[in-house]
């Protein structure tokens, strides 16, 4: 599917007819610069490949939600189990969640998972060493205060800035957690690489808020990315029935859940919360109605796909596509496009490599590489 949607082309043709030769040149340049994109299947046979971590040109590590880490040969499509951490609470939406290569230490990966604590799950950050095809030295870095027996809304994605890391935790299906700052549920946390609290976190001096919290009022943020060139942290989260949100994350901000929401109750056409906006609550940059059910978020910075450069890419589960959002320097969403819908796949994670390649996983167990059509 071309990233230049058919309705855009129709509008451009109309402008050509009505505005003359200059418009014709604009249409020619737009169509000529946009190439059709397609998905090339790299591998299959995974059990909900929740997270992708690019290691090198021939190796990717994959976290399966059932609690298994797999190693994939990107050239042959062969894959094998290399590690199965203990105490993974694989129930409902919980299990082994995100995986990310550390920018702070060689041969180190971070993971988030729902840790089994006396039959309940708590979203937990862990790290391990990967070397010579082997994963060792698994250790918990931070066990969050989000423990519950519900199998809903764990988050969780990992992102890095220059010296710290962020990871997101869902409200665990308990709405009041979004505004309860004595729990990590419904929040995005910021930690140092060793799991300690950065001295400049926003609530260090506030005993009413846990020190690790960077922002709160979140429902279920399953996409998180830090864009180094702009120094912006972006998140995308599930709303209720309608009302998925793309948010620009700010230090100490309240994102409103469940006080504000753009969604409806599951049991009827009743709005959730007190309203869509409220003083003191950070509004979303973009709202999705109906819900796309976002499962991941990436920022594309690269030359292999110039038409995607500087745009956010979100994997959509319910509406089965990659959602491409153009944002301006002020952090506003100014355009949206939808690609890969023809696959009909629940797109789970999106990984952009240092060389500008784009891989993505689907809940059916496939791994794809994005490419320009021949």
Burial (CB count <10 Å: 0-12, 13-18, 19+), residue 180: middle
Cα 239 to Cα 264: distance, rounded to the nearest angstrom: 9
Cis, peptide link before residue 258, omega less than 30° from 0: yes
Nearest to 43 by CA among 82, 65, 67, 70: 70
- Region of 190 (left: φ > 0; alpha: ψ -120 to 50; beta: rest) is beta
Closest C-alpha to 253, from 278, 227, 275: 278
262 assigned to active site: no
**Residue 13 backbone dihedrals phi, psi, to 5 degrees:** -65, -40
Q: Token digits for 269?
A: 């056409």
Calculated CA dihedral for residues 31, 347, 81, 66, nearest 10 degrees: 170
- State the burial class of residue 113 (Cβ atoms within 10 Å of its Cβ: 0-12, 13-18, 19+): buried
| Catalytic option among 153, 218, 262, 321 | 153
Catalytically active residues are 153
């Amino acid at each position: 599917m071309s990233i230049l949607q058919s309705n855009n082309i129709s509008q451009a043709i109309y402008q050509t007819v009505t505005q003359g030769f200059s418009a014709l040149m604009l249409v020619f340049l737009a169509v000529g610069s946009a190439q059709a994109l397609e998905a090339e299947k790299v591998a299959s046979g995974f059990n909900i490949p929740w997270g992708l971590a690019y290691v090198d040109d021939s190796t990717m590590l994959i976290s399966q939600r059932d609690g298994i880490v797999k190693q994939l040969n990107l050239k042959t499509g062969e894959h094998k189990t290399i590690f199965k951490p203990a105490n993974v609470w694989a129930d409902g939406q919980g299990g082994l969640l995100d995986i990310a290569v550390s920018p702070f230490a060689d041969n180190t990966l971070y993971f988030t998972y729902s840790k089994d604590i006396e039959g309940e799950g708590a979203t937990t950050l862990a790290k391990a060493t990967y070397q010579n095809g082997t994963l060792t030295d698994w250790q918990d870095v931070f066990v969050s205060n989000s423990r519950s027996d519900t199998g809903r809304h764990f988050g969780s994605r990992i992102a890095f800035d220059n010296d710290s890391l962020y990871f997101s935790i869902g409200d665990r299906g308990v709405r009041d957690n979004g505004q309860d700052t004595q729990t990590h549920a419904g929040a995005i946390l910021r930690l140092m690489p060793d799991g300690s609290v950065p001295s400049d976190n926003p609530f260090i001096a506030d005993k009413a808020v846990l020190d690790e919290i960077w922002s709160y009022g979140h429902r279920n943020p399953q996409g998180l990315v830090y864009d180094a060139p702009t120094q912006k942290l972006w998140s995308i989260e599930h709303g209720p029935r309608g009302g998925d949100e793309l948010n620009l994350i700010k230090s100490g901000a309240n994102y409103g859940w469940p006080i504000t929401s753009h969604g409806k109750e599951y049991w009827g056409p009743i709005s959730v919360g007190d309203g869509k906006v409220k003083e003191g609550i950070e509004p979303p940059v973009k709202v999705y109605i109906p819900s796309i059910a976002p499962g991941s978020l990436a920022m594309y910075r690269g030359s292999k796909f110039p038409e995607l450069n500087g745009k956010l890419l979100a994997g959509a589960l319910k509406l089965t596509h990659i959602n491409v959002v153009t944002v301006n320097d002020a952090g506003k969403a100014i355009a949206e496009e939808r690609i890969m819908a023809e696959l009909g796949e629940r797109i789970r994670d999106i990984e952009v490599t240092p060389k500008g390649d784009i891989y993505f996983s689907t809940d059916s167990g496939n791994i794809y590489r994005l490419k320009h059509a021949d």
